[in-house]
Amino acid sequence: MLSESLPTLLAERGVIHPERVALIDPKHGAQRTFGELARDAERIAGTFQAYGILPGDRVVLLGDHTVEAWQILAGLARAGVVPVLLNWRLTEDDLALIVEDAGSRLIVSTERWHALGAEVSTRTGARHLTAEEIVESETPPTELPLPDPERTAVQMYTSGTTGLPKGVCTTHRNLMALLDVLTGELPGFAADSRLLVAAPMFHIAGYGFGLGSLAVGSPLYLLEQFDAVTTLEVVERHAITHTLLVPAMLQMVVNAPNAGQTDTSSLRGLLYGGSPMSVSLMRSVAQVLGCPMTQAYGMTETTGIATLLRFDDHERGLAGESDSAVGRLASAGRPILGTSIAIDCPDSTGAGEILVRSPMVMSGYWRRPEESAAALGEGGWLGTGDIGRMDADGYLHVVDRKKDLVITQGENVFPGEVERVVVEHPAVIEAAVIGVPDATYGEALCAVVELVEGSDLTLPELQKHCRGRLARFKVPRQLEVVQVLPRTPSGKVLRRVIRDRYWADYERQVN
């Protein structure tokens, strides 16, 4: 990208294409042009100044994809203020912890989350304002900061190994590199595109893909809440050309009652990621959507993408051109331009931790210098925590996880956090929580428990106990009762031994 920061890019779009539509809410009909959005950014930046918010401050945004949310994101960028995008699936305790860690004095919520925003405000002492209040304010700005590509543009939180959240500092330069990838790699991604954003805003997938409309000057259609039937209807009604969906969403799309009955011929490209996708699901998606597919492998720390299994790899593999072409469908593809992938392999197996060096790698974790130094390592190589190998043709295969992390419904879950809640049930002596293969969610959380003698426990009882204490996606979906959990000589539970039973028939240990 010629532009070096979001506020610069938005201002340029406002001048070059002031009449082009930038944002569209297909449900309510609201929309903004690039010219209007650029003016909104100046005005809303002034509003934040009036509330005493300074460049570099963190402002929490608790919201969905609405026109107001994206107006506020534009205003924060222009003011040099960092949005902290909160995952509304978390519990109120988790959200309060993140607000306090970010040091935010202000919480902004979109309509669906006003009550939650008010509750988190009460717990933390941070001021709560609605998105509507800010968008409707008319406050001219005073002197605004000059855009700096090295400053943090957005902060998202990812779970740490202890369960404590870590704020990932993503710079403007990181985001500009992401936009280069979107414009250079997705088939037909151009000025006449129509983008549909359905992944949640608090994920780099939803936020980063949404910025793609700025990159090419095309309209962004906002799906406030993902729904498979609605997604297909919007694609047909508005002739959507590109969207991003995680495999769990795609499973719902192919199972939707209107799948195969809506016209999706306008689609030029589908980007998916967050977890691998089975070949059978790929074939179903190809049949229902009928468009080129591109898989992204990455994480929040790499601004979402490190490698791509590109559309032509999908085409050759699904056509069965050769055994190697079919085999590549199980890979994460090859690195994107400007990115290097290395395997830290301590033995002769060829598998080791995947390391990434890229202009899209984060600047570090917010207020965690030791963890930042440990993650980035010597020479700026980011340790991903994933185990992989590179084949002779340069394709990356992700085969396992270095840590006990489980990815379910596109969300990261560390077992220890769930185990601490499970063992609070009076019938449970000890628990091990693992990820097991699941056709819908990729992986499902399974609680393997030892019970008090004479006790009984059913899955619905356990789920009832966990709800309210854990975010919904962290509540176990399976339960196994065992006489004795396997342990080390020192008494530590061996999750890996338990997990291996469930994954014995799988070539790779991630799903």
pLDDT of amino acid 295: 97
pLDDT of amino acid 488: 64
pLDDT of amino acid 161: 52
Q: Strands 396-401 and 382-390, how do they pair?
A: antiparallel
**Backbone conformation region of residue 56, classed left if phi is above 0, alpha if psi is from -120 to 50, else beta:** left
Kindly state the tokens that stand for 235. Answer: 């694609």
Where exactly are the structural domains of the chain?
1-22+32-141+148-171, 338-401, 406-503
Domain 406-503: which topology? GMP Synthetase; Chain A, domain 3 (3.30.300)
Q: What does each C-alpha distance from 98 to 104, 152, 165 come to in angstroms?
A: 9, 17, 7
> Would you give per-residue pLDDT tens digits along the chain (511 residues)?
779 999 999 999 999 999 999 999 999 999 999 999 999 999 999 999 999 999 999 999 999 999 999 999 999 999 999 999 999 999 999 999 999 999 999 999 999 999 999 999 999 999 999 999 999 998 888 889 998 999 999 999 987 555 578 999 999 999 999 999 999 999 999 999 999 999 999 999 999 999 999 999 999 999 999 999 999 999 999 999 999 998 889 989 999 999 999 999 999 999 999 877 888 889 999 999 999 999 999 999 999 999 999 999 999 999 999 999 999 998 999 999 999 999 998 766 688 899 999 999 999 999 999 999 999 988 899 999 888 899 999 999 988 777 778 888 888 888 878 888 898 898 998 889 999 999 888 899 999 998 988 989 999 999 999 998 899 999 999 999 999 888 765 566 888 889 888 998 887 788 7
pLDDT of amino acid 140: 87
Hunting for tokens 């919201």 — which residue is that?
63
pLDDT of amino acid 162: 54
DSSP bridge partners of 365: 168
Q: Residue 97: count other Cβ atoms within 10 Å of its Cβ.
A: 18
**127-149 exposure pattern, b = at least 16 Cβ within 10 A, e = fewer:** ebbbbeebbebebebeebeebbb
Closest CA to 241 of 272, 265, 261: 265
Q: CATH for 1-22+32-141+148-171? A: 3.40.50.12780
Alpha-carbon distance of 129 to 158, in angstroms, equals 25
194 three-state secondary structure: coil
**Residue 235 CB partners (closer than 8 Å, separation 6+):** 196, 243, 262, 264, 266, 267
Q: What share of the chain is helix, strand, coil (3-state, %, to 5)?
A: 35, 25, 40
Q: Residue 4: count other Cβ atoms within 10 Å of its Cβ.
A: 15
Q: Is 2.40.50.100 the CATH number for 338-401? A: no
Closest CA to 71 of 36, 107, 106, 111: 36
Q: Is the pTM of this model over 0.85?
A: yes
Hunting for tokens 């899209």 — which residue is that?
360
Identical fold for domains 338-401 and 406-503, yes or no, is no
Alpha-carbon distance of 43 to 141, in angstroms, equals 6
List, in sequence order, every beta strand (DSSP E) within 362-471: 364-365, 382-390, 396-401, 406-408, 411-413, 428-438, 442-451
